[in-house]
Every structure is written in C-alpha cells, then in structure tokens.
C-alpha cells in the first residue's frame, strides 16, 4: 500500500490479474439498475455482517482551524474565509469528558481530529496522552491528524490507538482539482506507515466535489485494491461551506450516493462502510436506503468536526424506526 495503482492498469486489467476490482468493473456496478445493485450489496453484507447492527462513532475536533492545506472542501483551511477560527489543542480533561459523554450516549468508537498538515513531535505528545485516556474508558480509539512522519504511527500504536483515518478523497485523476498542497502519493505514504505500525486503516472519500462517475469508480478501485483494503471506509457527501471553493456545487442525488455505498460494500465486503459527512442533508428515508445498501457505521452526535451532524436523539429514533441496533 505504498503507492496508488496506475489508473490505466486499474481500468484495463484482465480478469486473471491480481487486482480485485478494475475501474471498469466498478463503473459497471454503479450503472446497474438500483434494485439489482441493492440486492447484490445486501447479499454480500449479510455474508459478513449482521444487517440489523450499526456501529456508532463520535468524532471530536481536538484542534480546530488554521490548517495550512488548501483542500477545496475544508472550512478549516486558513486560506479560506469561512468563519472557522484557529483554536489551540484541547486540554486532556476536556477530551476525556467528551469521550465519557460519547460512551454514555452509546458510541463505541471515539475519533479525535486535528487540523494539521501533520503533527510535529511536540504536538503529537499530548495527543498520545489523549489516546491513552480514551482507550482506558473502554472505547475504540481513532485519530486523524494529517500526514505522519516515520515513527509517529508506532507511537500512536503504543499509546493504544486502534484506527488511523486518512482519506484519499477522490480518484488520482481528479485529486489535483481539489488539493494542491500535498500529493496523492503523500497520502499513500502515510497509509503505509499506519499499516506498518499495525494500526487499522480508516480511509475513504467524498462524493459531490464535481467528480464524474469514472472518478467515483476510480476512488473505490484504489481503496478496494489496497492490500489489505481498509477496515473502515467512510463515504462522505460534500458539506458545502460558504467561503470554500466548492461552495455552490450541485448537490449529489441521494440515489447516486446510495450507489456509492452499495459499490463500496460489494468491493470491500468485510469493511465497516461508514455513512459519514452530509447526513444532515439526507432524509430518514435516504439514510435507510444507505443502510440497505450496506452502510453499517455512522458518526453519532451533533457535530462532525466543524459542520453539523444529526443529533443523537434523532439518530436513535431513526434506528428504532427501522429496527436497527448499535453494535
């Protein structure tokens, strides 16, 4: 997993090749009649997961704003005027209280996110204490801190981190339209360090940034052909924030989003497919379709980093209505 796979190879590899999925095969999945696609996704889902169970995770922004990167979707970039202020790293006791509240509300995984290009050692050290403290509460731990240097993933693993989140965001071809301050290869380098340290990988992307179906298939092909593929795959719908370059994009059709969830489930059968950012834009019926398509994990609570998220009570009410239970 040290480099992205050549897109032409992904698109044209013969069936006998070692690739699990080509771009062309995933495009064919995305083009299936929706009833057929959902049937295939549910069949795969039931082979590996309980279709009535969903993992509840909570995400806390432990260091908000001031990021030097220029990711066109992100309100935390200091390059854009979005109203998100640069804030210092949260105190340990604040993080612990938030983790206790998340656990009391039913979350089983707690993710800590920091708006850095990547942590300096002096910045990483207090995060290690946070990981240890959250782990001691009996929660699964996850962190998203940006690019990691040699040795940092090992420090996180030693502190008790279970998952490291680092998204590819989109296909290699479309990536340069969205981000200019880091390369696609930089992301694979960090993912390689995470794997080498024995951590689980949480890696996915964003739908609705102006990409086409080929790009969506290209993203899933990169993920599905990792060895191994990520244990957790967040599929995000762009949350448009005024002041970011992507504000004003045409919103994704919910059925196209459901197709992405289903294709992720089929191509990465054992992964937790995470219904992530953008749920505030979805009806309960749209979310229910995502669960039917194979999503079995959600971020739970009233905030997702700096943007809104369905409130916990609404989430529990929805799960009750459709007969699903937390893991």
> Is the pTM of the predicted complex or chain greater than 0.95?
no
Average pLDDT rounded to a whole number, residues 165-186: 95
Q: Looking at the predicted structure, is the pLDDT value of residue 304 above 80?
A: no
Catalytic residues: 67, 71, 74, 111, 142, 202, 274
Q: Looking at the predicted structure, is the pLDDT value of residue 17 above 70?
A: no
Q: Looking at the predicted structure, is the pLDDT value of residue 35 above 90?
A: yes
pLDDT at 6: 66
Average pLDDT rounded to a whole number, residues 34-53: 97
Q: Looking at the predicted structure, is the pLDDT value of residue 2 above 60?
A: no
Averaged pLDDT score across all residues of the chain: 90
> 3-class secondary structure for the chain?
CCCCCCHHHHHHCCCCCCCCCCHHHHHHHHCCCHHHHHHHHHHHHHHHCCCCEEEEEEEEEEECCCECCCCCCCCCECCCCCCCCCCCCCCHHHHHHHHHHHHHCCCCEEEEEECCCCCCHHHHHHHHHHHHHHHHCCCEEEEECCCCCCCHHHHHHHHCCCEEECCCECCHHHHHHHCCCCCHHHHHHHHHHHHHCCCEEECCEEECCCCCHHHHHHHHHHHHCCCCCCCEEEEEECCCCCCCCCCCCCCCCHHHHHHHHHHHHHHCCCCEEEECCCHHHCCHHHHHHHHHCCCCEEECCCEECCEECCCHHHHHHHHHHHCCEEC
Q: What percent of the chain is predicted at pLDDT more than 90? A: 73
Give per-residue pLDDT as tens, 69-86. Answer: 999 999 988 888 888 888
């Amino acid at each position: 997993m040290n480099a992205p796979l050549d897109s032409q190879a992904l698109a044209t590899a013969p069936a006998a090749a070692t690739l699990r999925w080509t771009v062309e095969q995933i495009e064919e999945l995305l083009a299936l009649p929706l009833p057929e696609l959902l049937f295939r996704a549910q069949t795969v889902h039931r082979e590996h997961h309980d279709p009535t169970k969903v993992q509840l995770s909570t995400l806390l922004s432990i260091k908000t704003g001031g990021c030097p990167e220029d990711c066109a979707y992100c309100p935390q970039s200091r390059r854009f005027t979005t109203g998100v202020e640069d804030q210092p790293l949260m105190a340990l006791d604040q993080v612990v209280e938030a983790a206790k509240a998340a656990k009391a509300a039913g979350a089983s995984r707690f993710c800590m996110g920091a708006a850095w290009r990547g942590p300096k050692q002096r910045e990483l050290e207090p995060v290690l204490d946070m990981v240890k403290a959250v782990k001691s509460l009996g929660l699964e731990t996850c962190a998203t801190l940006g690019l990691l240097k040699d040795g940092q993933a090992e420090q996180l693993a030693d502190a008790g981190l279970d998952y490291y989140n680092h998204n590819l965001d989109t296909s290699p071809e479309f990536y340069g339209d969205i981000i200019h301050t880091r390369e696609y290869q930089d992301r694979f380098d960090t993912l390689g360090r995470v794997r080498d340290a024995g951590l689980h990988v949480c890696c996915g992307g964003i739908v609705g940034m102006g990409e086409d179906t080929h790009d969506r298939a290209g993203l899933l092909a990169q993920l599905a052909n990792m060895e191994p593929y990520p244990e957790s795959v967040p599929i995000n719908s762009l949350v448009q924030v005024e002041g970011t370059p992507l504000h004003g994009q045409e919103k994704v059709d919910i059925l196209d989003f459901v197709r992405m969830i289903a294709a992720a489930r089929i191509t990465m059968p054992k992964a937790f497919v995470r219904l992530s950012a953008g749920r505030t834009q979805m009806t309960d019926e749209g979310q229910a379709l995502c669960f039917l398509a194979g999503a079995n994990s959600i971020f739970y609570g009233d905030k997702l980093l700096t943007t809104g998220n369905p409130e916990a009570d609404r989430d529990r009410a929805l799960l009750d209505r459709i007969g699903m239970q937390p893991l």
